[in-house]
Amino acid sequence: MPVLEVPSRYRVPTRGQARVEVAGNTIRGCIVEMENRFPGFQELILDGRGNQRRFVRLFLNGEALERDALDSAIEQGDTVTIMASAAGG
């Protein structure tokens, strides 16, 4: 199964889990599976329209993904890393 790496700021729904194996064949599918297992997770990553939130970056096997890559196919053994950008002024 793919592995989703969760940054510390988003671990409240996952009860502190930093790495979670998830069923899914797309990045969006993995996020939906996370929501099914850990309610409240999806809203941290996706907005109400299902788009990637502005301050969220996604990586597949260490390579940055474009914002429109949520429906990209992933395979067993892939690692999806979520990075939470901090905004401030």
Q: Note the pLDDT of residue 87.
A: 61
Return phi, psi of residue 66, to 5°.
Answer: -70, 160
**Which is the CATH superfamily of the domain at 3-84?**
Beta-grasp domain (3.10.20.30)
The predicted pLDDT at position 85 comes to 79
d(CA 89, CA 3): 34
pLDDT digits (tens, 9 = 90+) for 30-41: 999 999 999 999
Is residue 44 within 8 Å of 13, Cβ to Cβ?
Answer: yes
Q: Would you kindly state where each structural domain of the chain is located, as residue ranges?
A: 3-84
**Span 34-63, mean pLDDT?**
95
